[in-house]
Amino acid sequence: MNPIPPLAYLNSNNGTGLLAVGSGPSFTLETSEELPLLDAFLENHQGKYIFGYISYALQEHIVGNKASNQSTLPLAFFWVPSEVAALDGTNSILHQGTRKDEISHYIREIERAQSQALPEFTPAISRASYLERIIQIQQLIQRGDLYETNFCFEFFIENLVLSDPFSLYQRVNQRTKAPFSALLCLEDIWLACGSPERFLKKTGNQLISQPIKGTAPRHQDPMEDERLMEALKSSPKECSENVMIVDLVRNDLSKVALPNSVRVAELCGMYSFPNVHQMISTVTCKVSPNRPFSELLKATFPMGSMTGAPKRNSLIHMNALEPFSRELYSGSVGYFSPSGDFDFNVVIRSLTYTPATKRLSCAVGSAITAASDPAKEYEECLVKIARLIQ
C-alpha distances (whole Å) from 252 to each of 219, 245, 304, 313 are: 36, 10, 9, 15
Query: CA 86, 353, 73: angle at the middle one, nearest 5?
Result: 85
Per this entry, what is the length of the chain?
390
Provide the strand spans (E) within 140-234: 148-157, 180-185, 190-195, 198-203, 206-210, 212-217
What does the pLDDT read at residue 123?
Answer: 97
Side chain identity, residue 27: F
Euclidean distance between CA atoms 232 and 224, whole angstroms:
12
CATH T-level topology, domain 7-389 = Anthranilate synthase (3.60.120)
> How many CA atoms are closer than 13 Å to the CA of 173, on its beta-carbon side?
25
The one catalytic residue in 102, 148, 202, 213 is: 213
210 close to 282: Cβ distance less than 8 angstroms: yes
306 close to 367: Cβ distance less than 8 angstroms: no
Cβ contacts of 57 within 8 Å, gap of 6 or more: 66, 67, 71, 73, 75, 325, 326, 327, 331
Euclidean distance between CA atoms 58 and 366, whole angstroms:
21
Q: Is 298 a catalytic residue?
A: no
73 close to 44: Cβ distance less than 8 angstroms: no
Euclidean distance between CA atoms 339 and 203, whole angstroms:
9
What number of other Cβ atoms are within 10 A of residue 358's Cβ?
Answer: 13
What does the pLDDT read at residue 274?
Answer: 87
The one catalytic residue in 197, 238, 322, 380 is: 197
> How many CA atoms are closer than 13 Å to the CA of 18, on its beta-carbon side?
23
What does the pLDDT read at residue 68?
Answer: 47
Give buried/exposed letters for 77-100 (b at 16+ CB in 10 A, else e).
bbbbbbbbbebeeeebebebbeee
- Helix, strand, coil abundance in the chain, percent, nearest 5: 35, 30, 35
Kind of pairing, strands 276-286 and 359-368?
unpaired
**pLDDT per position in the chain (390 positions), as tens?**
568 999 999 999 999 999 999 999 999 999 999 999 999 999 999 999 999 999 999 999 999 866 544 678 999 999 999 999 999 988 999 999 999 999 999 999 999 999 889 999 999 999 999 999 999 999 999 999 999 999 999 999 999 999 899 999 999 999 999 999 999 999 999 999 999 999 999 999 999 999 999 999 999 999 999 999 999 999 998 999 999 999 999 999 999 999 999 999 999 999 999 889 999 999 999 999 899 999 999 999 999 999 999 999 999 999 999 999 999 999 999 999 999 999 999 999 999 999 999 999 999 999 999 999 999 999 999 999 999 998
What does the pLDDT read at residue 2?
Answer: 63
What does the pLDDT read at residue 70?
Answer: 66
DSSP lists the bridge partners of residue 333 as 53
257: DSSP letter: B
Report which of 315, 358, 311, 349 is spatially closest to residue 329, judged by C-alpha positions: 349
Stated as kind and residue range, the H or E segment containing 244 is: helix 236-254
Euclidean distance between CA atoms 302 and 245, whole angstroms:
12
- For residue 310, say if its preceding peptide bond is cis, omega within 30 degrees of 0: yes
Euclidean distance between CA atoms 283 and 361, whole angstroms:
31
DSSP alpha helices (H): ranges in 28-164? 35-44, 60-63, 100-112, 127-142
Termini Cα distance of the chain? 27
Q: Is 364 helix (H, G, I), strand (E, B) or coil?
A: strand
Q: Is 213 a catalytic residue?
A: yes
34: DSSP letter: G
Euclidean distance between CA atoms 340 and 351, whole angstroms:
29
